[in-house]
Structure 1
Amino acid sequence: MKVVITGGTGFIGRMLARRLVARGELTAPSGNLETIDEIVLFDAVAPAHSIDGLDDRVRIVTGDIADCDLVRSLIDRDDVSVFHLASVVSGGGERDFDLALKVNLTGALNVFGACRARSGRPRVVFASSLAVFGGAAMPRVVGDTTKQTPQTTYGATKAIGELLINDYTRKGFFDGRAARLPTIIIRPGRPNLAASSFASGVFREPLAGRTCLLPVSLSTRMPVLGYRTAVEGFIALHEADGAALGDDRAVNFPSLSVTVEEMIAALRRVAGNRPLGDITPAPDPAIEAIVATWPVETEWTRAAALGLPVDADVDGIVRAYIEDFVDEQD
């Protein structure tokens, strides 16, 4: 079978591709486990360096997700699964409304349309976000069925994507699932335009011996998810029995609700014996305004029932990052 990962050269896309190469099989539209013989990583730009941990089953394609013909040329087999991760992120969407609509809405429609055109019912896993929640009436703890009142363009496009996943599945066009993600930590490399980028930077920069400029207060609380657990969660959601999802295909992924101060404490517990860069307050009203619209805690009963993996604590996420991206470079 074939797997297409949009946003495939991004951090989670690369990690997912490595895991699928190692795993070697997924449940195909036939309903049976089938060997993965082709993986396409589709993205707007090529990676700056070769991606470790892949093999000759994997190829990278660059292009515009708003190009319908190109997307259809990639989703060209009936025995296909798609992980749709490509997106303009929160801060980027606030800066460029039209680009967010082009990538997040037109792109999603192109992916969903290409899957609809295949015979059978391909499984489609859509990366959504807790940014679908918001508004003055948002409760402190959001669950799978909490009303969605997104306060960013990014969150609005994700909410629309979830509705489309439900409707395309209801129509029998494909077997869709939406992964409603908290902030994923710890991302290596350079900061991105996501308003949540600081949640990785508060670990990554000090571990690299650099100063982290913290745009929010130490008391800022947010749900987070380790990147290893996120990747395993994507696969677990793909493999879940569609009947268990019912007519609501979106699932809050498990998360840990922590403050920035608690993140820093975890860093110091795990890596206090290492030379660490400073963490310096640098309030950014634009970032603070976006973060203030997010939920601070989630309920994820459905994810637990489906057997999605859970992080034990932030310390374990820090240890994994050091193992994968810090000690590996030493």
Structure 2
Amino acid sequence: MHVMITGAAGFLGQRLTAALIEKGSLNGQPLSRLTLLDQIEAPRPEVVSALTVEVVAGDIADISVLERCLAGEPQVIYHLAAVVSSAAEADLSLGMRVNFDATRLLLEGCAARGLSTTRLVMASSVAAYGGDLPEILEDMTALVPQNSYGTQKAMSELLINDYSRRGLIDGCVLRLPTIIVRPGRPNAAASSFASSLLREPLNGEAAICPVPTDLEMFVMSPQRVIEALLKGAEVPAAAFGLSRCFMLPGITVSVAEMLEALEQMAGAEALVRVSHVPDARITAIVSSWPARFETRKARALGFTGDADLADIISLHQRDRDVLANGN
């Protein structure tokens, strides 16, 4: 089994790489080759001799780079590369180039090589929704994104669905909830604060809350997202029906509930490390994302989510402790 990952140097890409190596197979086939693509060189994992790993550092919107990666005719492609929300809003051309143009080039490359049975799993986003929405959304709720990142993701979703309908690729689009608690430091994503609110105080550091505490978000842990990505490669094509795009089963939480959970799990001293500094730009972006979903299709296909916010924090603390102990 040859698996290709775009955005392999990102935190999801690195976690997915590690999970694939640990799993050792997909769809009952042993993992034999990994192609890891990113604009910077992805960390080369320690692997057994039976697994070939190719690390490619290059521009995903460069056709020659994609042709190099597709030459080995991967059977599964995880398309995680993206310019995140705030950056895509600040630079329309960059967002279009990476989030949409590169997706089209990837699909065209697969079609040109006749990779009709290759499963392409793309990470989309809750940001694809927006506008005047019902209280609870479903997968077939019309996509009217209110930011460029969401628009670019929605455009890519339509392309993948159409290329799958034509039999040119076997696509699967997973709309990801906001991922918390992300490891590392804050990035350019508008939602980055949601991880910082929990991660930094738990580490004894200060954090900033830029949004009103009554703002609600639809969230999921990194661990459950990785499980979903692995599952996305194994769902039978016939099970998707007419649409290859659906929302993963996250949970709805308010910022106030995040802060309450922080206090309950780490005490009042953790809560006082959070400063409230309103940011109208971040609030405008994040508040345009819906927070309540009916994820019937994902659950019917076998995808699972977190039990509650305490479960998400506990998973983060477990991973943090494992990393700190070097295990």
Question: Shorter-chain TM-score: which interval?
Answer: over 0.9
Residue 90 of structure 1, aligned match among 85, 95, 101? 85
Residue 74 of structure 1, aligned match among 46, 52, 69? 69
1:125 aligns with 2:132: no
Match of 1:296 in 2: 291
For structure 2, the residue ranges without an aligned partner over 5 or more in a row are none
Give per-residue Cα distances to partners, 1:229-264, cap 9 Å, x unaligned: 001011112211111101200011001000011112
The offset of 1:60, in angstroms, is 2.5
- Give the 4+ runs in structure 1 shifted more than 4 A: 50-56, 273-277
Match of 1:26 in 2: 26
Match of 1:30 in 2: none
Q: Determine the C-alpha separation between the residues in 2 that align with 1:217 and 1:87.
A: 27
SS in 1 for 2:196: helix
The offset of 1:147, in angstroms, is 0.8
For the 8 Å contact 2:176–2:248, the answer to whether it is kept is: yes
Match of 1:13 in 2: 13
Give per-residue Cα distances to partners, 1:103-146, cap 9 Å, x unaligned: 011110121122223344100001111111111x2122211010
For the 8 Å contact 2:4–2:74, the answer to whether it is kept is: no
Give per-residue Cα distances to partners, 1:161-191, cap 9 Å, x unaligned: 1101111001111100100111011111111
SS in 1 for 2:233: helix
**2:91 maps to amino acid:** D
Q: 1:34 to 1:174 in 2, by over 3 A?
A: same
1:260 aligns with 2:255: yes
The offset of 1:298, in angstroms, is 1.1
**RMSD of equivalent CA atoms:** 1.8
**1:214 maps to amino acid:** C
The offset of 1:78, in angstroms, is 3.4
Match of 2:130 in 1: 134
Q: Determine the C-alpha separation between the residues in 2 that align with 1:59 and 1:278.
A: 43
For the 8 Å contact 1:8–1:85, the answer to whether it is kept is: yes
Match of 2:228 in 1: 233
Q: Determine the C-alpha separation between the residues in 1 that align with 2:126 and 2:309.
A: 19
Give per-residue Cα distances to partners, 1:203-225, cap 9 Å, x unaligned: 11112211101100111101000
Q: Determine the C-alpha separation between the residues in 2 that align with 1:126 and 1:189.
A: 23
Residue 62 of structure 1, aligned match among 57, 64, 78? 57
SS in 1 for 2:61: coil
For the 8 Å contact 2:259–2:271, the answer to whether it is kept is: no
Q: Determine the C-alpha separation between the residues in 2 that align with 1:165 and 1:26.
A: 21
**2:142 maps to amino acid:** K
**2:311 maps to amino acid:** G
The offset of 1:327, in angstroms, is 5.3
Q: 1:53 to 1:318 in 2, by over 3 A?
A: farther
The offset of 1:292, in angstroms, is 1.7
Q: Determine the C-alpha separation between the residues in 1 that align with 2:322 and 2:232.
A: 31
SS in 2 for 1:140: coil
The offset of 1:265, in angstroms, is 1.9
Q: 1:96 to 1:258 in 2, by over 3 A?
A: same
For structure 1, the residue ranges without an aligned partner over 5 or more in a row are 28-32
**2:150 maps to amino acid:** G
Q: Determine the C-alpha separation between the residues in 2 that align with 1:253 and 1:54.
A: 30
Q: Determine the C-alpha separation between the residues in 2 that align with 1:220 and 1:21.
A: 38
Match of 1:251 in 2: 246
Residue 171 of structure 1, aligned match among 166, 180, 186? 166
How much identity, in percent, do the aligned residues show? 39
1:197 aligns with 2:192: yes
Give per-residue Cα distances to partners, 1:39-92, cap 9 Å, x unaligned: 122111235xx5666556334221101101111210223352100010111100
Q: 1:271 to 1:115 in 2, by over 3 A?
A: farther
Match of 1:269 in 2: 264
For the 8 Å contact 2:44–2:55, the answer to whether it is kept is: no
